[in-house]
Amino acid sequence: MNRKRTTDGWSPYLAGALVGLLAIASVYATTVWMGKTHYLGASTTFVRAAGLLERTVAADHVAQNEYFTKSKVVIDWQFMLVVGIFFGAFVSALSDNSYRLEHVPPIWRKRFGPSIGKRAAGAFFGGIVAMFGARLADGCPSGHGLSGMMQLSVSAFVALAMFFGIGVVVAHFVYKRRTA
């Protein structure tokens, strides 16, 4: 028995290149089987999830909302893709013993301590701002970052520069304790 099988995973270059092949296979498969080319993405699914949840309490409101109508509140190809990410990550983590029930990630703990409440608040409010931005920009690091860059879209290059540029500034401000 080899107990030291908690590896560092695969080379990110290799895993990334395989995602490139998956992206190619996926545009081909969606074109053939669905009649329209679909690109890897994730953030529209959050709109659909919000619509599905809201519909359980305010069906009329969702039906009348222009953005929900435009995005179509249905469990579609991308919705299932996002569900699939969960299972794929789960299987992969079990396969190399890297599944961990993490309460607070190390960098966060170093700055804000072990409080789950603080981490929950940060993740929740960060999530609201990030998703509002992703919907405004019409994409996230999957839709713009991967799919848009692969197509040499101008919007993708500018979006990724904004994502990362502002991310760097805010991360330095938030996680770097100023040495007083």
- Please say which residue, 1 or 101, places its beta carbon nearer to other proteins: 101
- Please say which residue, 20 or 113, places its beta carbon nearer to other proteins: 20
The answer to whether the beta carbons of residues 33 and 140 sit under 8 Å apart is: no
- Please say which residue, 88 or 113, places its beta carbon nearer to other proteins: 88
- Please say which residue, 5 or 151, places its beta carbon nearer to other proteins: 151
Q: Which residues contact 37 (CB under 8 A, 6 or more apart)?
A: 27, 30, 31
Tokens matching residue 163: 């994502």
- Residue 90 Cβ vs other proteins, minimum distance, rounded to whole Å: 4
Q: Which residues contact 171 (CB under 8 A, 6 or more apart)?
A: none
Count of residues making up the chain: 180
The answer to whether the beta carbons of residues 30 and 77 sit under 8 Å apart is: yes
Tokens matching residue 52: 């599905």
- Residue 74 Cβ vs other proteins, minimum distance, rounded to whole Å: 10
- Residue 166 Cβ vs other proteins, minimum distance, rounded to whole Å: 3
The answer to whether the beta carbons of residues 167 and 133 sit under 8 Å apart is: no
- Residue 7 Cβ vs other proteins, minimum distance, rounded to whole Å: 10
